Each structure stands twice: as structure tokens, then as C-alpha cells.
Structure 1
Amino acid sequence: MKSDSMNRLVDQPLRALVIAGAVLMVTSASVYAQTASEPASRQVTRAEVQHELEELEAVGYSPSQGDDADYPADIQAAEAKVAAKHQAERNAVTGTIQTGQTALTP
């Protein structure tokens, strides 16, 4: 008789743990499924990275300086120069001039 009551004492909490574990697995799977549906970012190719580095070096950035104290500022400045160069190229193609002011429309 003691074994019957002991089985109930062990069996009920064990059953509750199994149910709780199953519920946790189901809810965590649905959370993962929701986050997985976000669009994945496009992977950059090696050639694109090399081209970007060449552009940065062309405007004065030198990655060979190692642990430079000006590291974040110097690469950001080079990136700004490259962005300005690209904007100037786009403006030349479209025939517009960027003056920093908005043009008045008649």
C-alpha cells in the first residue's frame, strides 16, 4: 500500500514536469519561427569588400597603421569622403548640383 501512495507522489509531479517541458518547447519553437521569418540580409562578396577597401585607401585611409588612436575617426572620415564622392558621381549623372540648400520651386 505504501508503494501505491509513493507512486502517486512521484508520478504526479513527474507528469506535471513533462507537460511543462512540452509547453515550453512548443512556445519556444513558435517564437523562433516568428523571428526566422524576417528577411535575411544579403551577404557581401569578397570582391565587394576588396572594392570598398580600395575606395577607402584611395581617399586616404590606411588599414596598415594597426591600432591607431584615431581608428574610429579616421575610417569614418574616409567613409564620409567615399560617400561624398559617390554622391558627386550620382549628381554628375543626373545633372544636379548639391549646394546644401533646398531649391525654391516657382
Structure 2
Amino acid sequence: MKSLIQAVALAVILAAPVASFAQSEQPLTRAEVKAQLSQIEAAGYNPARAVDSTYPADIQAAEARVAAQNSATAQADTTGYGPAANGSSQTGSNTPAANQ
């Protein structure tokens, strides 16, 4: 009986990560699909073509351009502190104050 309880406990422990991983797969929302489509269209893919004999190559090239753009954007600012400040600022005016 004790070995049965241990076997069940071991099975639950091993199955827990699999169940939690399976729950993380959420379907895309309509807004996410529209955003992805607009990104691909901005990259040069036109889904409205009547005759498209180069369909797989066209969409794969557009997806590659979108992926490259997204990875460049993600690598641009990884610190979260913003860009380096260049230049300076001054207060006041260049003209001297008038004596009254």
C-alpha cells in the first residue's frame, strides 16, 4: 500500500510541470492577429492578390523581415533606462538684464 501511495505521488509530481506548461498555450486574440497581419503587410506582403504563384516565398520573406525588425527593436533597449542623453540645456536668456 505504501509503494502505491509513493508511485501516485511520484506520478503527480512528474505530471505537474507538463500540466502547467499546457495551460500556458493561449490562443491569439483578434487584436493580436490584426496586429500581426498589419506588420506583415507593412513588410511588403499583400494578401489581396488574386493570382499569387509565389505565395509561400512572399509570406516567408515578409515574416523574416518582421522577425528581424522585432529582434532589432528588442535588442535596441535591453536596460530599461532609455537612450543616452546627448547635448546640454541652459536656462535664462542671452541678453543682460536692463537696469532700472
Could you say which TM-score interval applies, normalised by the shorter chain? 0.5 to 0.7
Greater than 4 Å deviation, 4+ residue runs: none
RMSD over equivalenced CA pairs, Å: 2.2
Alpha-carbon distance change, 66 to 42 in structure 1, aligned in 2, over 3 angstroms: farther
CA distance in 2, matches of 1:66, 1:85: 28
**In 2, Cα distance between the equivalents of 1:47 and 1:70?**
28
From 34, 39, 62, give the equivalent of 2:22: 39
Instruction: Within 5 Å, give how 1:1-106 maps onto structure 2.
Output: 39-40=22-23, 41-94=25-78
Question: How many pairs align?
Answer: 60
Cα deviation, residue 88, structure 1: 0.6
CA displacement, residues 51-93 of structure 1 (integer Å, 9 cap, x when unaligned): 0000001110000013411001100000000000001101111
Q: Structure 1, unaligned stretches of length 5 or more?
A: 1-36, 96-106
Q: Is the partner of 2:31 in helix, strand or coil? A: helix
Summarize deviations over 1:9-42 as a string: whole Å, max 9, x none.
Answer: xxxxxxxxxxxxxxxxxxxxxxxxxxxx681531
SS class of match (1:52) = helix
Higher RCO by CA contacts (8 Å cutoff, separation 6 or greater): 2
Greater helix content: 1
CA distance in 2, matches of 1:90, 1:80: 15
Q: What is the percent sequence identity of the aligned residues?
A: 47
- What runs of 5+ residues in structure 2 fail to find an aligned partner? 1-18, 80-100
